[in-house]
Structure 1
């Protein structure tokens, strides 16, 4: 019989890539992880790993079992939840990028805390390049991300639910003189720019849009926090491209639409291929409910696509007794 704990280790190896990384992730020694994986090979009577130099990698059979392992583990979680009763209960881990935390995740967690007292949510900041690996590794049960991040790995193992469309805008100091009309990025080639930290979605997008406009931006600062970026722009020290959701009205900045519009599609993503826990379904339903969005951010209609891939501080609601 397959051991669920060893399946979790195999699933993590498929995502993290090395036994050492898995060992650090689960707070075990590398030799213990290797031993558990060897026992899994014995249980399955199948060669799951092969050595390449000083490392190991999954064989085709190991990759197949790793893909199936996540569905098996999700199914076990769903069965365990059903045995505790039909009401949504237990822990659901939600990962979300910065501007989606206060716009989508916290309102959803607040509604869930009022409706399902036995359901616990844990919110973690995860940028788009981190969210899908966390979802596949089982570190998140639901992530809020964007399908427009070109580096996201795609595959049929994830399900997306569209939440909103968010425009990318040029952000400048409020008292800066600006010509009327949408912003033509080529006109800002000589300006000081504030960028996110690579390999984040906005860092990559800003570089790509500037280069497509014929120039390399003169980067004067990099912040992983949008509020720090807005403070820098407010002081007149830089300009920036930001998602509309990230522009906090407490800062004295101006926004301009781009002459060539760019938007990002905000989605909730979960794993598919096995019955979902009632608690995960409750979280998805809460995220679909209308929220108050800034002007020009389009609220999506509740839709579901069953086999499309999506491409800090933690906040808990309903802590366990």
Structure 2
């Protein structure tokens, strides 16, 4: 049996992104080309890797197993390539970076711009993943680097994961421009007990944090909107329909809102995390260095 690395990568991508169309878009291929290559991989392995349900496909148990092994094989190949490239002292290769929404524009994109200027042979694939999704994806080998919050790293950290502090970010109260609470330099959360709120989606970091802060202050928040997009939350506040708790990194100056720090102050620690590789990968080191330099 001869396994083709390219086809293994397509299978691993299918396990990560869920659809043939998404795999095709990521690889600049047609969906039919991806399907043909996966069918060839099934013939090469003499194993049913996919189950077809209507127009969609999903991995069989064998497909899930091979996708996991494929990530290990591809990671080992990447490590060998990195060692060889390291002889030339110039980082090169592809790094998959996942970041939560407010870190994308404030941290990830500036880092990628800085990286492109210094190391043009390093390509970064950027994904949006919230903290509760990104750490599991890192452990599964679906991404190389994540930007997360220290709260989601876990008390007993996997010894195979390395952390790099990036920055701290204040959580602020976001108010309409004419709101009475803008008269204060800082605001205690209990002063907002009778206010309508816009929250993130249930289960997200900001939704859980905002809910906990309100309950600790002795009230249940009246949530009238839930979005997983901070720009939509800012629109709601700008129109005077609600107030919100958002990280400072999420505040877009294009919106006519006013922010006030909480009293007492609430901050979150932002951290980059990577799997500890079997051999140094200069391209990942370059990405981490760019993140460190891109602090706001």
TM over 0.5: yes
Closer, same or farther: CA 83–194 of 1 in aligned 2, 3 Å: same
Which of these residues, 207, 210, 228, is aligned with residue 203 of structure 1? 207
Whether 2:271 is the aligned partner of 1:267: answer yes
Answer whether contact 1:171 1:240 (CA < 8 A) is retained: yes
Answer whether contact 1:72 1:274 (CA < 8 A) is retained: no
- Displacement after TM superposition at 1:181 (Å): 3.7
User: Which residue is equivalent to 1:82?
Assistant: 83
Which of these residues, 99, 123, 145, is aligned with residue 142 of structure 1? 145
Kindly provide the CA deviation profile for residues 196-227 of structure 1, in whole angstroms up to 9, marking residues without a partner as x.
01211101111111111111110110111111
Answer whether contact 1:167 1:263 (CA < 8 A) is retained: yes
User: Which residue is equivalent to 1:29?
Assistant: 50
Answer whether contact 1:143 1:268 (CA < 8 A) is retained: yes
- Cα distance in 1, alignment partners of residues 128 and 142 from structure 2: 12
Closer, same or farther: CA 152–134 of 1 in aligned 2, 3 Å: farther
Higher relative contact order (CA 8 A, sep 6+): 1
Which of these residues, 221, 225, 236, is aligned with residue 217 of structure 1? 221
Closer, same or farther: CA 160–69 of 1 in aligned 2, 3 Å: farther
User: Which residue is equivalent to 2:54?
Assistant: none
Gaps of 5+ in 2: 21-37, 39-48, 52-57
3-state SS of the aligned residue for 2:77?
A: helix
Which of these residues, 91, 95, 116, is aligned with residue 92 of structure 1? 95
Answer whether contact 1:4 1:73 (CA < 8 A) is retained: no
- Cα distance in 2, alignment partners of residues 260 and 4 from structure 1: 57
Answer whether contact 1:74 1:274 (CA < 8 A) is retained: no
Which of these residues, 261, 266, 284, is aligned with residue 257 of structure 1? 261
Q: Scaled by the length of structure 1, what TM-score is found?
A: 0.69
Kindly provide the CA deviation profile for residues 275-313 of structure 1, in whole angstroms up to 9, marking residues without a partner as x.
23111111011111154x2xxxxxxxxxxxxxxxxxxxx
Alignment of 1:1-321 (within 5 A): 24=18, 28-29=49-50, 33-35=60-62, 74-84=75-85, 86=88, 87-149=90-152, 154-178=157-181, 179-291=183-295, 293=296
- Cα distance in 2, alignment partners of residues 23 and 287 from structure 1: 25
3-state SS of the aligned residue for 1:259?
A: strand
Answer whether contact 2:111 2:294 (CA < 8 A) is retained: no
3-state SS of the aligned residue for 1:148?
A: helix
- Displacement after TM superposition at 1:250 (Å): 1.4
- Displacement after TM superposition at 1:81 (Å): 2.7
- Displacement after TM superposition at 1:72 (Å): 7.1
Matched length: 254
Gaps of 5+ in 1: 13-20, 41-65, 294-321
**Which has a greater percent of helix?**
2
- Displacement after TM superposition at 1:34 (Å): 3.1
Answer whether contact 1:94 1:143 (CA < 8 A) is retained: yes
Answer whether contact 1:75 1:276 (CA < 8 A) is retained: no
